[in-house]
Structure 1
Amino acid sequence: MSTIVPIMKIARIAVVVAAGAGVLGAGAAAVEAVMPGYGCTADDNRFAASLGEIGILKARPHGAMPYESERADCEPDDRISSAGRSYRFPGPRADVLAFYRDAAVMDGWDPGWGSVSALAENVCASKLIGDEYVHLSVAFSDSSGKRGHADYRVNVSGGYGGGRPCG
């Protein structure tokens, strides 16, 4: 009889675990029912992949080397597609900013408020690509510049709701 009791307890635990998994699954279905359209669609993911091919992401000042992996994805909470690349530049941040300000203007990006060259500490611009406004930004890592080089990321974003403007 003592060997049967543990087996019965195990069976009850399995039923409770299975019931809990069913509740979690129902909860996920409820989120989709309450928030139809939540998450990225196949079109959002294709758009993210296409953002990864935008030329300015591949442009870099002489001496800048890619580091970290390229990224192109869609954020399911807001359906914003984005792509970016990280680089390490052996010189000052000011040279990186000047390069991307010039490259953005030459590639048809609109700086929005004022001129691109008037933005002292960042690069932020937008461009209509297809039917979507895409936003360009250049951001430096916090430790960048302290070790004699500039680590930075060039990012573009757009999609449902217009993307993430910077500025």
Structure 2
Amino acid sequence: MAGSGVDDGLSLRARKVRRRGRRAAAVSAVALVIVCVVTAVVVAEFLRSLLLGSPRLPLTLIWQRTGLACMTDPTGEWAARAGKEGVLRDTPPGAVKISESVTRACENERNIGSVGLRYRFSGSTGTTMAYYRKRALADGWRLLREDGDSAPPAKEQLCLSKNLGEFTGYLDLTVLRLKDYATEEERRTGDYDLRISFSPGGFGWCG
């Protein structure tokens, strides 16, 4: 009888050891799957960044994709500051705002944040460009670039910069009707995009 009790005790301990072993194996299997998935995502994103011409290291990808980058991203406050710039809100007579967007740098693959507005305007491209060029320069913005054809209808894009305190803002204006990617409606209605962009690296979409 005593021997049977010892055997039962040993058998019970053996079953517990086996159960713990199975649980440990299951946890290891799940961990391995997670590691494989994360690795696959990082490799895919790295290859994608190569195709886009802006290769990023795997650690950078992990930092951005997990949302950790947003924990230390100051550009949410910068967006609020940029949104107060009068040049974003002042418009040629008759222009109507149709959309607005705010993006923090940590939410963008190129680490650029922005405050952007789209307006609808029935006036000419020349009127739009001249209005914002004059308005921005009077407000302390510095002209960096004026792109497009010098012949009519007009240049199609402005790029300016300004020190906004803790960061440099880059203001760009794009008249959509002159762009190849514009829709028929955008060509017909005279829509244009006005945007201030910024980055912890000190650059913007047009800088």
* Displacement of 1:94: 1.1
Amino acid at match of 1:50: R
How far off its partner does 1:64 sit? 0.1
SS at match of 2:191: strand
- Given the alignment of the two structures, is residue 71 of structure 1 paired with residue 101 of structure 2, yes or no? yes
Higher RCO (C-alpha 8 Å, min separation 6): 1
**Which whole-Å CA distance do the structure 2 matches of 1:54 and 1:18 have between them?**
49
Q: Deviations over 1:48-105 (max 9, x none)?
A: 232222221111110000102x111124333322101110001111111111001111
CA distance in structure 2 between the aligned counterparts of 1:28 and 1:120, rounded to whole angstroms:
42
Distance (whole Å) between structure 1 residues aligned to residue 155 and residue 38 of structure 2: 50
Q: Which runs of 5 or more residues in structure 2 are unaligned?
A: 1-27, 43-55, 177-181
1:51–1:72 contact (8 Å) kept in structure 2: no
* Partners of 1:52 and 1:71 within 8 A in 2: no
Q: 1:111 maps to what in 2? A: 143
Which of 74, 80, 88 is the aligned partner of 1:57?
88
Which structure has more helix as a fraction of its residues?
2
1:81 aligns with 2:113: yes
- The residue that corresponds to 2:124 in the other structure is 92
Paired AA for residue 99 in structure 1: Y
Change (3 A) 1:16 1:92: farther
Q: Which amino acid aligns with 2:167?
A: E
Contact 2:174–2:192, Cα closer than 8 Å, also in 1: yes
Q: Deviations over 1:25-48 (max 9, x none)?
A: 68889x999338643334222222
Letter in 2 for 1:74: R
Aligned CA distance change for structure 1 residues 98 and 161 (closer, same or farther; 3 Å): same
Counterpart amino acid of residue 126 in structure 2: A
Q: Which amino acid aligns with 1:158?
A: F
- With normalisation by structure 2, the TM-score equals 0.58
Moved more, 44-53 or 96-105: 44-53
Q: Which runs of 5+ in 1 are unaligned?
A: 1-14
Tell me whether 1:131 sits opposite 2:166 in the alignment: yes
Which structure has the highest strand share of the two? 1
What residue number does 1:8 align with? Answer: none
Which amino acid is the alignment partner of residue 79 of structure 1? N
Q: Do 1:93 and 1:145's aligned partners in 2 also have CA atoms closer than 8 Å?
A: no
